């Protein structure tokens, strides 16, 4: 996979204030079929190491049933809502919205660690994530991504 990224300056950064986390515009080429590249471009949501499944979708939202279309949408609106507000000042899915403006997630090491939670990859997909690129993935999260 070939990935190139360029910084996107927030209004806070333009004003000279320190940005707590970086958002970047990305263009990723992923081979879909032999000889047919797939290009995914858009804003990225950048996370740190060890993002666990409770941060991806907290337990209180596990009562939502992904096989019901309206509940599937709601599940997406809560994707990554468990991230700490003091570290992540921008929500992955804005309040009152059902979809994210960040089709690409850039993760650190051990993305999706913690409990086996099938709702975690489903929530990211329901929110509109097209790709999640991380240094490494927790084994159970990786398996749930394949299974769902």
At 47-70, the pLDDT tens digits run: 999 999 999 999 999 999 999 999
Half-sphere exposure of 2 (CA within 13 A, CB side): 5
Q: Which two tokens stand for residue 108?
A: 């650190």
Q: What was the pLDDT predicted at 34?
A: 72
Q: What is the DSSP string of 46-110?
A: E--S--BHHHHS-GGGTTS-TTSHHHHHHHHHTTTTTS-TTT--S-SS-TT-SS-S--EEEE-TT
Q: Which of 17-26, 28-37, 52-61 has the lowest mean pLDDT?
A: 17-26
| Average pLDDT value for residue range 112-125 | 95
Enter the pTM of the model. 0.77
CA angle 90/102/95 to nearest 5° reads 45
Q: What is the CATH number of the domain that holds 106?
A: 3.20.19
Residue 99 pLDDT exceeds 80? yes
Residue 35: pLDDT over 80: no
Nearest to 83 by CA among 67, 66, 69, 100: 100
The number of distinct structural domains making up the chain is 1
The confidence band for 37, taking pLDDT boundaries of 50, 70 and 90, is: confident
Neighbours of 143 (CB within 10 A): 15
Is residue 132 classed as helix, strand or coil in its secondary structure? strand
Answer with the residue of higher pLDDT: 22 or 124.
Answer: 124
Of the pLDDT bands very low, low, confident and very high (cuts 50, 70, 90), residue 11 is very low
pLDDT tens figures, 126-147: 999 999 999 999 999 999 999 8
Assign 10 to helix, strand or coil. Answer: coil
Mean pLDDT of 28-41: 64
Parent domain of 110: 2-147
Provide the token pair at 36.
């047919």
């Amino acid at each position: 996979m070939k990935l190139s990224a360029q910084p996107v300056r927030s209004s806070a950064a333009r004003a000279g204030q320190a940005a707590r986390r970086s958002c970047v515009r990305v263009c990723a080429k992923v081979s879909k079929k032999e000889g047919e590249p797939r290009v995914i471009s858009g804003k990225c949501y950048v996370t740190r190491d060890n993002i666990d499944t409770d941060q991806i979708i907290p337990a209180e939202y596990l009562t939502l049933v992904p096989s019901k279309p309206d509940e599937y949408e709601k599940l997406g609106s809560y994707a990554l809502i468990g991230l700490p507000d003091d570290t992540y000042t921008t929500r992955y899915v804005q309040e009152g919205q059902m979809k994210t403006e960040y089709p690409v997630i850039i993760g650190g090491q051990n993305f999706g660690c913690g409990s086996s939670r099938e709702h975690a990859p489903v929530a990211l997909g329901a929110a509109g994530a097209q790709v999640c690129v991380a240094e490494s993935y927790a084994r159970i999260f990786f398996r749930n991504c394949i299974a769902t």
